[in-house]
Amino acid sequence: MQTWFITGASGGLAIHLTRKLLERGDRVAATVRKAGVLDELKHAYGDRLWSAHLDLTDAAQIEEVVTRAFAELGAVDVFVNNAAYGLYGAIEEASDAQIEHEFDTNVLGSLRAARAAMPFLRKQGHGHLVQLSSSAGHYSIPGMGLYCSTKWAVEGAFEALAKEAAPFGIRSTMVEPGGIRTGFLGGNAAYGEPMEVYREQEAGRFTRMMKGELPGMDTPEAFNRAVVGDPEKMAQAIIDRSDAGEGPLRLTLGSDAYAVMRESLLARLAALEAQKELAYSTDADDVGV
């Protein structure tokens, strides 16, 4: 039996992961923002489900909850940073407060949670940090720029953290899913204040699609048909990666994730290669002498 700590465990991919772990006999420390959402699982699995309220924008609460989980459970084998949400719309449409909250949750919240866990994982001499990132950490499109930027930040920070944690016996995995069929349209997303100038631009069309305002994409059923990711299969893939031990830092889930990430990486590589001569020409004259 392993012990997992999962933030934002009440919905999306995380609830599927939580159920699978409990079903196979593991113990789960689950954090949520709404009281009572895990009552059914608590009734079914009793003490194997430990839960606590956690707001990732509250630094003091993160420290308190993580510390209490390790103290009461004795050890945590797999620490999963899952909680995050999307902020959609053109960059200009979002307010400062919305942008700050998005980064406070998706980036700073994940970093604070991992930083709170690290001393305990080091003391244990083992553990697995699993950071939910996104295929959006490799590309950016109009209407998704702010969400993508948080995932780019997560990618940079946790790639470094993985290397810093490795000497202490701590493994790391960044999970990069594409779209996931979670059964609802728009989810817990937030939106900027629409500006008419963007309505018929790519940013406006994307935002209206996410809101369910475009013909053919205006019901949960229609939206899910356009999304390829199966949350059950993705949850199992995360469990399998953890059980396997060592593996690549990044775990790509979904054919859409693979396709868009490959396209983005190839385009960036081609643009880089086209500038090789220029890049070298700007070196100081005494380089290599």
Q: Which residues are catalytic?
A: 133, 147, 151
Helix (H, G, I), strand (E, B) or coil at 5: strand
144's tokens: 């998704």
Distance of CA 198 to the CA centre of its chain: 28
- Choose among 115, 156, 160, 113: nearest CA to 133: 156
> What are the phi and psi torsion angles at 229 (to 5°)?
-75, 125
7's tokens: 């933030």
Query: What is the C-alpha separation between 31 and 66, in angstroms, rounded?
Result: 10
Query: What is the C-alpha separation between 162 and 249, in angstroms, rounded?
Result: 8
- Choose among 178, 164, 177: nearest CA to 129: 164
Rounded to 10 degrees, what is the CA torsion of 34, 57, 16, 139? 140
Enumerate residues 6+ apart whose C-beta is below 8 A from 203.
89, 90, 93, 142, 143
Helix (H, G, I), strand (E, B) or coil at 3: strand
CA 146 to each of CA 102, 142, 155, 258: distance values in angstroms, whole numbers, following the listed order: 8, 9, 14, 21
Which residues, listed in sequence order, are joined to residue 3 by a DSSP beta bridge? Answer: 27
For residue 92, give the DSSP letter: G
| Residue 18 CB coordination number (10 Å) | 26
Query: What is the C-alpha separation between 73 and 13, in angstroms, rounded?
Result: 24
